[in-house]
Amino acid sequence: MGAFVKANVSGQTRYFEYQPYRLREKASAQLVILFFLLVFGHCLAAASVFRELRDLEILALECLETGGPSICRQALLHAEVLQRHSNGASNYPCQTRLLGLQGYLLMSSSGQAHGNDPQSILDEVMIACKTL
């Protein structure tokens, strides 16, 4: 049950039915779509960070154990991506541990001993960064 609106179209007077409930339905549908896009986008971002963390753990452990320059370079790149993300998320404990890990990765790639257990360093990173 809408109201009628008078309009002048090409010099002729016409009446159109104004249906506000259709506008509300359209707006509601748009809000539902926006909600799902936001939730889905957040899930994709979380999955991406989880994948980066998992890849970093694998690469960093291999770098710290073997000192291979190409593996260490890949681990450093993953750590840098996560470090920047943690800075943007204001997760400073994660960022600090990632910066420390990057130092260990650099020392390992240049053949310098770092003196700590590689797994314990990675465990600290994983704990601090699990909320990214």
Output the domain CATH number for residue 65: 1.20.120
Taking 70 as the threshold, does the pLDDT of residue 44 lie above it?
no
Query: Where are the alpha helices (H) located in the chain, listed in sequence order?
Result: 20-66, 69-88, 92-109, 118-129
Whose CA is closest to 59, among 44, 87, 90, 80?
A: 80
C-alpha–C-alpha distance, residues 56 and 54, integer Å: 5
pLDDT digits (tens, 9 = 90+) for 60-114: 999 988 889 999 999 999 999 999 989 989 999 999 999 999 999 999 888 887 6
| Predicted TM-score of the model (pTM) | 0.65
> Range of 102's domain?
3-129
Packed helices 20-66 and 118-129: angle between N→C axes, nearest 10 degrees: 170
Say which residue, 30 or 52, is predicted with more confidence: 52
Q: How many domains does the chain have?
A: 1
Say which residue, 131 or 39, is predicted with more confidence: 131
